[in-house]
Structure 1
Amino acid sequence: MDMPSEQFLAIQETRRLGLRALRAALLQVHKEVIGYDRGQYERLHGPIPAGQFVQLVTEESFFRWLDPLSRLIIEIDEELDGEEHHDETCRAVAAAAQKLFSERGDADFRKRYQEALQDEAAVTVAHGRLMSVIGQLRQLP
């Protein structure tokens, strides 16, 4: 029996909204940890001129620990570009995000992220929001 198109569209929109919420939460975490990391970097190397920061983030090994987070955001962007979204995909993306921020995630990421989480209140707030969104996505039927 085929699903009515209205119901199908409503389910697709729910999934799309969940993915967008996860993306937004990940972007907020990304923004906060980059801000924290910039401060750490500047303590070691001095102020970064305004136009050079983006180049440093993409080229400097100091910031490589953020790559798994950046890749996860890119994966969500690619999923959002698609026509259809499936519950399994939404749950898998949520599980990947949860794993990244857990004991089972990338060791380099976890170590540096934990430092930022302990030292920067804005990272802690963004992390709480992210965990809430992940929990909601994991509960999709």
Structure 2
Amino acid sequence: MPSEQFLAIQENRRSGLRALRAALLQVHKEVIGYDRGQYERLYGPIPAGQFVQIVTEDAYFRWLDPLSRLIIEIDEELDSKEHHDETCRAVAAASEKLFSQRGDPAFCKRYQEALQDESGVIVAHGQLMNVIGQLRQLT
């Protein structure tokens, strides 16, 4: 039977991963909202019920794929029974890299535009950076 300390450490890691996932989802939501406005300025209003299809199929939104994949990786890690320091740090590092100048160039360019133009993205970004910093401190 696992020790109380082991279980506490696992819950701490799981909580960190959940917090990172929530912060990434908030960034995703804010960026999608911003990008939808940009898309509609270029192509006109998106008909009700077609937004999800457009986001998943239109090349305009492909730049979001690295963020979506990162969220999926965290979901997969949360599905596992044990969480290891290395995994938590690796996920935090991948998140940090994606949102830096070292990340995917297409993502970086469009994300920086959203970050400069949309206050909701700025707030979500700040929260994300706080969570990443906390997750990197897990031992």
Using structure 2 for the length normalisation, give the TM-score: 0.98
AA at the equivalent of 1:53? F
CA-based RMSD of the aligned residues comes to: 1.0
Among all aligned residue pairs of Structure 1 and Structure 2, give the percentage whose two residues are the same amino acid. 85
Aligned residue in 2 for 1:51:
49
Q: Which runs of 5+ in 2 are unaligned?
A: none
- Count of aligned pairs: 139
AA at the equivalent of 1:38? R
Aligned residue in 2 for 1:19:
17
Aligned residue in 2 for 1:125:
123
Deviations 1:17-75 (A, max 9, x none): 00000000000000000000000000000000120000000000000000000000000
CA distance in 1, matches of 2:79, 2:136: 21
CA distance in 2, matches of 1:58, 1:93: 24
Aligned residue in 1 for 2:107:
109
Q: Which runs of 5+ in 1 are unaligned?
A: none
Using structure 1 for the length normalisation, give the TM-score: 0.97
Aligned residue in 1 for 2:86:
88
Aligned residue in 2 for 1:67:
65
